[in-house]
Structure 1
Amino acid sequence: MARADQFKALLRAYAGNEEAQFYAIALQVAADEAQRGHTKVASELRDILDEVKLRMKPRTSARPQPIAQPKGELADLLSVQYPNTHLSQMVLSSLVEQKLRRTLTEQRHHEALAGHGLAPRRKLLLVGPPGTGKTLSASVLAAELRLPLFVARFDSLITKYMGESASKLRLVFEALKMTRGVYLFDEFDSIGLQRGSQHDVAEMRRTLNMFLQLIEQDTSDSLIIAATNHGEALDHALFRRFDDVIRYTAPDANQIELLLRNCLSLMASSAMDYPALAASGVGLSHSEVVRACQDAMKDAILAGRDVVAGDSVAQHLHERLQSEKASM
């Protein structure tokens, strides 16, 4: 029979009137029964689901549905992804990981919180240097919660015409009410610059004011993630609109060592001196360390060896880490 977590998911979908989600979970139950050899039960379930699907069709156009790709004007404002990277695959500081796990826990138990008049964290501001995992964190939250990741396209959102940017921003906020997901505003300083700064212009000020109003009024079930490399340049009023501010930093030696072990697990030798290599990478971002590992493995392979030795990878990695530092 179906597992307890499947029953819970079915009940949640039914209680939330999420027909498409209910149908998808029920199909999983039928597939599980077929794998266990219960072919008759699986066949009966599929027959029932076929009847349910036919009854669903007349209503699908009248209610919001999970979308594979934003349609109409939204297609220019949002791109969509379905990430599969999980939190366990990331290397983060304990504080950042703790805050992300807290968000996931509150989201997964939103019904219990609502029963006491409380709302889960769902508006996050991610601040930190480039390459430290902010954008990846948004992908992880989407993957962990099995939600689509919608990324705002600022090249289309921001225009020079008066009021047009604010109007498009309002359209994005209408979308997150219609389709639950994780909505990422990356490089958020594009619209969030402090009002009154030397880069402040009237249209950007109007757009920022509209964002402040929309995020404060928003009561949807979607997660809103804003990420920036320049937290110090953001308007101070923004910080109060978010449920949590998560600050990212470059990895320390211990985190770099873990990154190296994860990246080189298939090509490293038991004699590889990870602590020494990690020490040479201090000061680099997560993405720079990962790129150095990938380049080192490519270098070792392209060196023409039939068998890639761990010491060869280590030598190339040391050179790559130094090269990354030199280019900073």
Structure 2
Amino acid sequence: MAANAEHLKALVRAHAEANDDLFYSVALQVAAKSARQGQGKFAVELRELVETAQQKQSRASSRNAATPVVQPRGELTSLLTAGYPDTQLDDMTLDAGLRASLDRVLHEQRQRARLERFGFTPVHRILLSGPPGTGKSMTAAALAGELKLPLFTIRLDGLISRFMGETAAKLRLVFDAVAQTRAVYLFDEFDALGAERAAGNDVGEARRILNSFLLFLDEAPSESLVVAGTNHHQLLDRALFRRFDMIATYGPPTPEQAVEVMRRRLAGMDTGTVRWDAVTDSASGLSHAELVKAAEAAAKRAILAGRDVVDEQLLLEALSERHASHHA
């Protein structure tokens, strides 16, 4: 009953402040809670009412002005950054199994009303694990782009170091935003928060922060996507893994994927003379991001030399330089 009372008070406040986004967000929270309690028909009807009202408002806005951009306000401005990516999954070079998992996330999010009719929620808590430069942050951007949602990024290492002693309270502010504003929320550098509680250098504050995050994550509504990115999954507390609906693992590109990454980035250049099978050995050991940097370096050298042709030698030199900087 207390939760219902809080929802009612939030609805009244939103109405008094003429804050339509907050009003609709709270109504959707009520729908999600009702679905979890087995009131599927009411949940679907309430969601349909909200979506119909939002569509009418969107059509009116498109006739009168550009759609307003949601930006963090108040204390949130120091906790997260906002972006509006147009990235799509098709822009990425992904393993077939990983692509299928991400397609499932999108499908469930787009069909969440149907799932909630039967008391289920879509995948909305995702852990992305893998070495730097393998596409974790780009995946969050692609999910936001595909769903036409804002992308809010929270750098946890900075949040913890800047607000030690207040981190749990700051996390509460972020998760309040998760409930109020539908978006993709990327918790970057997740290792800073999720380090094993049994670690020898653990302190009481770190334990409290992690426990708070686990509680907030459990309560996160399914309208928003909470995405955590880690380079070191082996450092994470075991309790974290079972809190996520899906864990996606990223690795270095295969030779075929390495060629696809470079060809994508060089799509505007003439690469007709490149023997791609002769380039794969030099590409081995580099991440997706490093391959993109090598392709860009080769392209810029060609352009500044007055040519639109990237030949094999230019590409091999750029790859060699990336290896040298990689091991420096």
TM-score range, shorter chain: 0.7 to 0.9
1:177 pairs, out of 163, 176, 179, with 179
User: Partners in 1 of 2:182 and 2:83 — Cα distance?
Assistant: 13
Q: 1:326 offset after TM fit, Å?
A: 2.5
**Could you say what secondary structure the match of 1:158 adopts?**
helix
Q: Deviations over 1:160-213 (max 9, x none)?
A: 777411111111111110101000101100111001213322212110110011
Q: Which amino acid aligns with 1:213?
A: L
Q: Deviations over 1:203-236 (max 9, x none)?
A: 1211011001111122341110000100000001
User: Partners in 1 of 2:92 and 2:46 — Cα distance?
Assistant: 29
Q: Deviations over 1:32-85 (max 9, x none)?
A: xxxxxxxxxxxxxx5xx79xxxxxxxxxxxxxx986211111111121100001
Corresponding residue for 1:318? 316
Q: Deviations over 1:107-129 (max 9, x none)?
A: 11111111121111010000000
- The structure that has the greater radius of gyration is 1
User: Partners in 2 of 1:18 and 1:151 — Cα distance?
Assistant: 29
User: Partners in 1 of 2:271 and 2:164 — Cα distance?
Assistant: 61
Q: Alpha carbon RMSD of aligned pairs, Å?
A: 2.4
Q: 1:15 offset after TM fit, Å?
A: 2.4
Corresponding residue for 1:139? 141
Correspondence 1:162-311 to 2 at 5 A: 163-302=165-304, 304=305, 306-311=306-311
Correspondence 1:94-105 to 2 at 5 A: 94-105=96-107
Maintained 8 Å contact 1:13/1:22: no
Corresponding residue for 1:124? 126
Q: Deviations over 1:86-106 (max 9, x none)?
A: 011100111111111110011
Corresponding residue for 2:49? 15
User: Partners in 2 of 1:117 and 1:13 — Cα distance?
Assistant: 14
Maintained 8 Å contact 2:157/2:193: no
Corresponding residue for 1:35? none
Deviates more, 1:275-284 or 1:131-140: 275-284
* Number of aligned residues: 281
Correspondence 1:45-84 to 2 at 5 A: 46=63, 68-84=70-86
User: Partners in 1 of 2:270 and 2:118 — Cα distance?
Assistant: 52
User: Partners in 2 of 1:260 and 1:243 — Cα distance?
Assistant: 32
Corresponding residue for 1:62? none
**Could you say what secondary structure the match of 2:167 adopts?**
helix
Percent identity for Structure 1 against Structure 2: 44
**Could you say what secondary structure the match of 1:16 adopts?**
helix
Q: Which amino acid aligns with 2:184?
A: V
Q: 1:239 offset after TM fit, Å?
A: 0.2
Q: 1:323 offset after TM fit, Å?
A: 1.7
User: Partners in 2 of 1:148 and 1:181 — Cα distance?
Assistant: 5
User: Partners in 2 of 1:183 and 1:143 — Cα distance?
Assistant: 13
Maintained 8 Å contact 1:161/1:203: no
**Unaligned stretches of 5+ residues in structure 2:** 1-44
Q: Which amino acid aligns with 1:325?
A: H
Q: Deviations over 1:12-37 (max 9, x none)?
A: 98622574553224666xxxxxxxxx
**Could you say what secondary structure the match of 1:150 adopts?**
strand
**Unaligned stretches of 5+ residues in structure 1:** 1-10, 29-45, 51-64
Deviates more, 1:185-194 or 1:293-302: 293-302
Q: Which amino acid aligns with 1:15?
A: L
Q: Which amino acid aligns with 2:86?
A: N
| Shift in CA distance, 307/214, structure 1 to aligned 2, threshold 3 Å | closer
Q: Which amino acid aligns with 1:324?
A: R
Maintained 8 Å contact 2:121/2:222: no
Corresponding residue for 1:24? 58
**Could you say what secondary structure the match of 1:107 adopts?**
helix
Q: 1:155 offset after TM fit, Å?
A: 5.5
Maintained 8 Å contact 2:128/2:230: yes
| Shift in CA distance, 156/74, structure 1 to aligned 2, threshold 3 Å | farther
Q: Deviations over 1:260-299 (max 9, x none)?
A: 2211222223232112213320111000000000001112
1:90 pairs, out of 92, 95, 102, with 92
**Could you say what secondary structure the match of 2:74 adopts?**
coil
